Amino acid sequence: MARIVECVPNFSEGRNKEVIDAIAQAIASVDGCSLLDVDPGVSTNRTVYTFVGSPESVVEGALNGARMAMQLIDMTSHQAFEVDLHRSTSSHIDENRSTLILGEHKRLGALDVCPFIPVQGVTMDDCVQCAKIFGERAAMELGIPVYLYGYASNTEYRKTVPQIRAGEYEGLAEKIKKSEWKPDFGPAEFIPTWGATIAGARKFLIAYNINILGTKEQAHRLALNLRSQGRGPDQPGRLSECQGMGWYLEEANVAQVSLNLLDYRQAGMHTAFEGCVNDARELKLAICGSQIVGLVPLEAMLLTADFYIEKENLFIVGEDQKIRLAIERLGLNSITPFDPKTRIIEYMVGDVEDGPLVSMSLRQFIYSLGSRSSAPGGGSASAAIAAMGAALATMVGWLTYGNKKFEALDSQMRTLIPPLRQAMLDFIPMIDADTNAFSGFMEAKKLSKTTPEEEEKREKALQDGLRSAVEVPLNVIKTATKVWNPMVELAKIGNINSKSDLQVGARSLETAVWGAFHNVKINLDDISDENFKKQVVHEAESSLENAQEKCKEILKILEERE
């Protein structure tokens, strides 16, 4: 598995296309960096860049972007909007006067914040290390002050971006002189053209804006209801792990409740959106969709879809349809088109990739099975047959659901189809997993055994390889066990016109379990752990017996149906 870190630097320039493009090119030019998104904001005078790569690559990409920004961004001429009667370059609300003062996005420096986020094959500690390496090198090469935040910070009062950014660029000249605000890296002095940079490690943050057909003051009022800190210690907001403010997006002519969802599992987009809709209704304000800035995790989109599926009692199981539902319910196309292929991070980085066998055409797979090679073999074939068996049962479910003739069975099909379909999906990666496990065992056999240490290392590798070779077909058996009961129920009530399809499906699944059982058995012989062997044999034998009984029951039910 590739080691992937995401980096989302925010640069204080959102209007000058030449500068924005130059920073993008500097990042993209680093070998191993994939620039996924560039999101400039004219109103906020800020551009968010999103790129991924190995830990080493993303650090270099961030540094390259900072080097270019040092040449092209001058904070002494960084423009601010002047609104209301109070002229300010910060965004805050004066609760005493109920007057909103809004300028560009709050910022501390030219490269304002530079977070590193774990995506795949890396830990949060790896990202902390990225932040520290970046901070140290940026301070050394560019001579800039760098503060650490999030998981990279060990100081409680310097854990969050708002804590460090308090006072903003304009207050930094005095703030940086104080001992408690000495930077983690670089000089404790104000650099007028740069300011300071905040680097850290964090979980995936979703920058999520909800569109309001109203004023910036009204949007900010809604934001105060939602954000964790609310209006102060005595009036906390409703959402946990949420930062927020209101502003006006000039280019779209709408106000926005601008939120940072710091943990989408605790407070998701749907929670924020629905809360905002309810509050807006009380104020007689219209909500006009929402906007995701940058990328979003697939899981966050699916959690949103699942919320609306449950709320509206919908029956949607396909991932693509769930994504479409989430886009529609949140109104994610309201500002700019939301393309899942370019906005969902897993789709961008290829996190979900098919293995080589699954990627073959059916003809190629059969040719591969029939070649002069022991892999792929019976284990991969069993997994493929199991997937086809579950797929046929799923098909019968779909041919029953939504059919006027079987309309009375819709609620039962809603229960039966999901486990059948999920099993079908679960079997697919097992096709490659079985061959990979066998390959791992064969690689272990090639290890040297000239010394006692090498022999011990080789034996351990062989035992690990054999366990893997057992566990994959055992997973085929376990997954098949989950399918039998819904398949029995489907045999009783499913579309009788698809009787032969379900018969083939049941026999296929039984054959797959039989094949997986014998793959388990042959690999158990050389495993030294007798307790493990005894436990696996008992589970595999009982599951095979259950499969044979269930298959017989299904075939009997179908044969007796008219």
Sign of CA dihedral 342, 346, 349, 350: negative
105/344 Cα distance (integer angstroms): 25
Beta carbons of 542 and 549 less than 8 angstroms apart: no
243/105 Cα distance (integer angstroms): 13
- Could you tell me what percentage of the chain is helix, strand and coil, using 3-state DSSP and rounding each to the nearest 5? 55, 15, 30
Nearest to 14 by CA among 101, 103, 142, 133: 103
List, in order, residues 6 or more apart from 283 with CB less than 8 Å away.
214, 218, 221, 222
Q: Tell me whether residue 86 is one of the annotated catalytic residues.
A: no
375/111 Cα distance (integer angstroms): 52
Q: How far is CA 52 from CA 20, 118, 299, in A?
A: 18, 10, 18
Three-state SS at 512: helix
Q: How far is CA 149 from CA 197, 230, 361, in A?
A: 10, 22, 49
At which residue do the structure tokens 């949420």 appear?
Answer: 242
140/163 Cα distance (integer angstroms): 24
Q: What dihedral do alpha carbons 63, 67, 72, 78 form, nearest 10°?
A: 50
289/254 Cα distance (integer angstroms): 11
56/76 Cα distance (integer angstroms): 32
The CA R_g of the chain, rounded to the nearest whole Å, is 29
Q: Residue 118's beta-bridge partner residues?
A: 5
Select which of 112, 184, 426, 434 is catalytic: 434
Beta carbons of 24 and 132 less than 8 angstroms apart: no
Three-state SS at 227: coil
Please provide the DSSP assignment of 463-511 as one string: HHHHHHHHHHHHHHHHHHHHHHHHHHHHHHHS-GGGHHHHHHHHHHHHH
Beta carbons of 299 and 293 less than 8 angstroms apart: no
Q: How far is CA 369 from CA 175, 379, 519, in A?
A: 69, 11, 15
What ranges make up the beta strands (E) of 96-222? 99-101, 111-120, 146-150, 197-201, 206-213
93/493 Cα distance (integer angstroms): 62
Select which of 105, 184, 279, 432 is catalytic: 105
Q: Tell me whether residue 105 is one of the annotated catalytic residues.
A: yes
The catalytic residue positions are 105, 434
